[in-house]
Amino acid sequence: MMFRLACALLASLLAFPLHGQTTKLRLSLDWVFEGQTSFLHMANYKGYFKDEGLEVQIDVGTGSAGAFQRIMSGVYDAALGDMSSQIEFLSRNPGPLQFQSVYVMYEQIPAAFFALKKSGIRSVKDFPGRVFMESPTGFSRRIWPLLAKAADIDPGSVKWVTASPALRATMLINGDCEIISGFLSIPIDLMTRGVREDEIVTIPVADYGIHYYGNTLLVSQRLIEGNPKAVAALVRAFNRALKEALADPAQSVKYLKQREPLIDEAMELRRFLMVMPGIMTQNARANGLGAIDAARLQKQIDQVSQAYGLANPPTQERLFNARFLPPQPERMPK
């Protein structure tokens, strides 16, 4: 009985914002200011963070590896980062825990491979002998053995060139490679460089059984232990804004335009809509946003560990902390 009362007291303490003071936080995005993260700017401009007693500074990011380092440096309190990258990082850094995921943004990683139709590539079966461009920390080179196995082809049958993600569209157009990878919105980058939409071949990783959690909201262990009420407040505001953005993406992107006047509003709305299937999955619609399924996460841990050659995979408890999630009814998308 006493244990249940203590749990209820803790939940009630986490459920209310800090009164009489404002907690300042710094949050790093996974990448540059784009449509799919416009909801965080909306949360600022509409006062959702302020309602929770928070003042949140949102900055552009440099990928998951950069997100981890920013949190570990102590400069940032939270960031958006990829779950598979987190699995690898925690496996290779088994010391004291530095950060945890507290909310899943992409219930299905919205990633795909891309080629130009003139290459003759239509599926993963057509990859053998082709030149694949990937960044030094990109996901596709590492998960390639799993995809090759799913397609029943030799994983050593492709050729790799390494370059910055900023160059992938240009390299594909110039013929320096034949396959690139990234979010489902990559065709926008190609089209802005003059490629017609009907000339682009998109091959989603989900079509080959890669049903992985993608980007999550990561929070520093320092904040989790030192100010759990602020973490709960951040997650509530994050959930509130994301739900609103999913219900009206066009309205959400207007706040991105307010934050970054030089963006093309129509293009960023389209970018958001292209990756939305990774957020609004069938499971998210049925069971709510933000949470993980233990069996599915374990499968991802096992497969990523196999693909990356990880000898010390992290436990689910080190990866994901569910204590800050709002109740399920509050996480149901509109």
Comparing 94-103, 149-158, 316-325, the range with the smallest average pLDDT is 149-158
Share of the chain above pLDDT 90, in %: 81
Where on the phi/psi map is residue 19: left (φ > 0), alpha (ψ -120 to 50), or beta?
beta
pLDDT bucket at 158, cuts 50 / 70 / 90: very high
Instruction: Judge whether residue 211 has pLDDT over 60.
Output: yes
**Given CA atoms 126, 182, 103, 256 in this order, what sign does their dihedral have?**
negative
pTM of the predicted protein model: 0.90
The mean per-residue pLDDT over the stretch 298-318 comes to 93
pLDDT above 90 for 334: no
| pLDDT, position 151 | 86
At 13, is the pLDDT very low, low, confident or very high (cuts 50, 70, 90)? very low
Q: Which CATH architecture has domain 13-107+213-331?
A: 3-Layer(aba) Sandwich (3.40)
Confidence band for 47, pLDDT divided at 50, 70 and 90: very high
- The pLDDT assigned to 6 comes to 46
CATH architecture of the domain with residue range 111-208:
3-Layer(aba) Sandwich (3.40)
CA distance 28 to 216: 12
Residue 2: pLDDT over 50: no
Query: Could you give the C-alpha distances from 261 to 254, 268, 306, in angstroms and in order?
Result: 10, 12, 44
> What's the rounded Cα separation, in Å, for the pair 45 and 39?
10
Label residue 20 by pLDDT band (50, 70, 90).
low
Same fold, 13-107+213-331 and 111-208: yes
pLDDT value at position 63?
A: 81
- Quote the percentage of the chain above a pLDDT of 70: 94
Q: If pLDDT is split at 50, 70 and 90, which confidence band does 143 have? A: confident
- pLDDT tens digits for 73-117? 999 999 999 999 999 999 999 999 999 999 999 999 999 999 999
Report residue 17's pLDDT band, with 50, 70 and 90 as the boundaries. very low
Domain boundaries, the chain: 13-107+213-331, 111-208
Token pair 């992107």 is at which residue? 253
Higher-confidence position of 325 and 144: 325
For the segment 222-253, what is each residue's pLDDT rounded down to a tens digit? 999 999 999 999 999 999 999 999 999 999 99
Full 3-state SS string of the chain = CHHHHHHHHHHHHHCCCCCCCCEEEEEECCCCCCHHHHHHHHHHHCCHHHHCCEEEEEECCCCHHHHHHHHHCCCCCEEEEEHHHHHHHHHHCCCCCCEEEEEECCCCCCEEEEEEHHHCCCCHHHCCCCEEEECCCCCHHHHHHHHHHHHCCCHHHCEEEECCHHHHHHHHHHCCCCEEEEECCHHHHHHCCCCCHHHEEEEEHHHHCCCCCCEEEEEEHHHHHHCHHHHHHHHHHHHHHHHHHHHCHHHHHHHHHHHCCCCCHHHHHHHHHHHHHHCCCHHHHHHCCECCCHHHHHHHHHHHHHHHCCCCCCCHHHHECHHHCCCHHHHCCC
CA 99 and chain centroid, separation: 15
